[in-house]
Amino acid sequence: MTVSPAAAESLQTLIVGLALAGLLASAFELFTDRKASFRLLEAGGVSALAAVPMLAFTAPFIILRNTLRGRRLEHRPIPFVMIATMVACGWSLLSGRVAVDLAALVVGG
């Protein structure tokens, strides 16, 4: 079995996106003593505007965390968990692609 270079690059991008999401969400919790959440947008004004870039990259982690918690506590159906996981992985692919491209731009490669 061989893996095409495109598939390997997509897997790398997915992993980078998920790792970056977890890292940023954990750093946010460390520095603010609050969990990263989409509720940050409810504050309005400059605070909500400043939260948008952070939420754009932490969204896959937040979606997966909330989905697993909902499955465990609220017994949400498996198809819901599968769809939410696919959404989080798609979002992770996008944010991982941005992160990899920015890293390549900074390094110059």
**8, part of any domain:** no
**68, part of any domain:** yes
**5, part of any domain:** no
**Where in the sequence is the domain holding 17, given as residue range(s)?**
13-108
Taking alpha carbons only, the member of 39, 67, 69, 66 closest to residue 55 is 39
- The structure tokens listed for 10 are 């997509």
* Overall domain count for the chain: 1
Does residue 109 register a pLDDT over 80?
no
**């110059």: which residue's tokens?**
108
The span from the CA of 104 to the CA of 40, in Å, is 30
**87, part of any domain:** yes
**7, part of any domain:** no
**6, part of any domain:** no
23-77 residue pLDDT tens: 999 999 999 999 999 999 998 888 889 899 999 999 999 999 999 999 999 999 9
78: Cα within 13 Å, side-chain hemisphere: 0
68-105 residue pLDDT tens: 999 999 999 999 999 999 999 999 999 999 999 999 99
**57, part of any domain:** yes
**4, part of any domain:** no
1-30 residue pLDDT tens: 888 999 999 999 999 999 999 999 999 999
Taking alpha carbons only, the member of 2, 3, 9, 5 closest to residue 93 is 9
88, 63 Cβ separation under 8 angstroms: yes
